[in-house]
Amino acid sequence: MKMYVKFDFNALCKKILDEKLKEHGLKYRLLNFGEVEFYETLTQEQHKTFKKNLEDYGIEIIENQRSTLVQKIKDIIVKLVFSEEVIPVKASIYIAEKLNHSYGYLSNLFSEVTHTSIENFIILQKIEHAKELIIGNKQSLTEIAHKLNYSSVAHLSTQFKNTTGITPSQFHRIVMKKRKAKSLMITSQMNYE
């Protein structure tokens, strides 16, 4: 039997972070996603142990302000792209308002730290979400394009192909072939037993 699951990475990370903080007996409160306020100062040993414990889950503590701001930009973009509702404003306006900085400043900082643009990061996140939605097989490409704020299916298809090397339709066919092959394999194994 096979089961397909969908992950809410924000909820997953928040739960792990909460559990690990409690496990270490630290007094804290979770602010925004990826932001923790401690009620007491951590010793160097507590900081080191906690940092190592989080790294086992792929969660890293950000040490400097520039990296922190870039991570906030990424978090906002992921939340924006993976949101169930369509945000009616441009991403640049949304990001600038959320972080209370000019978009030009945020864009330059993001490019300096990550060596890619905010726009490119948004496209990559949209394509990852489009893949998830295609794999979920519950929405048409038109619905997916609308959900991801593309002006048309053609625009989505162009960016999808530029990013992955194949069109969304080709990706869908590959997913369906793999499902069918696995289903046939499972059926034949069950019949063989």
Q: Where are the domains of the chain?
A: 9-60
Q: Are strands 36-38 and 28-30 parallel, antiparallel or unpaired?
A: antiparallel
Residue 189: predicted pLDDT = 65
Task: Assign 1 a pLDDT band (cuts: 50, 70, 90).
Answer: low
**pLDDT above 70 for 191:** no
Do residues 70 and 109 touch, judged by C-beta distance below 8 A?
yes
Count of residues in the chain = 193
Question: For residues 17 and 59, is the Cβ–Cβ distance under 8 A?
Answer: yes
Q: Mind listing the pLDDT tens digit for each residue in 133-178?
A: 999 888 899 999 988 989 899 999 999 999 999 999 999 999 888 8
> 193: pLDDT confidence band, cut at 50, 70 and 90?
low
Q: Is the pLDDT of residue 121 over 70?
A: yes
What is the Cα–Cα distance from 146 to 130, expressed in whole angstroms?
11
> In the prediction, which pLDDT does 89 show?
77
**Average pLDDT of span 3-13:** 74
CA 59 to chain centre: 13
pLDDT at 96 over 90: yes
Measuring CA to CA, which residue among 60, 64, 24, 20 is closest to residue 43?
A: 24
C-alpha torsion angle, residues 124, 127, 128, 132 (rounded to 10): 170
- 115 vs 45, more confident: 115
Residue spans of alpha helices (H) in the chain: 9-23, 44-55, 65-82, 91-99, 103-114, 118-136, 141-147, 153-164, 168-192
Assess whether pLDDT exceeds 90 at residue 53. Answer: no
Q: Helix crossing, 118-136 with 91-99: angle to 10°? A: 110
Nearest to 33 by CA among 85, 72, 87: 72
Which residue, 43, 50, 99, is CA-closest to 76?
Answer: 99
Say yes or no to pLDDT of 190 above 70: no
Give residue 163's pLDDT: 94
Lowest mean pLDDT among 51-60, 75-84, 127-136, 138-147: 51-60
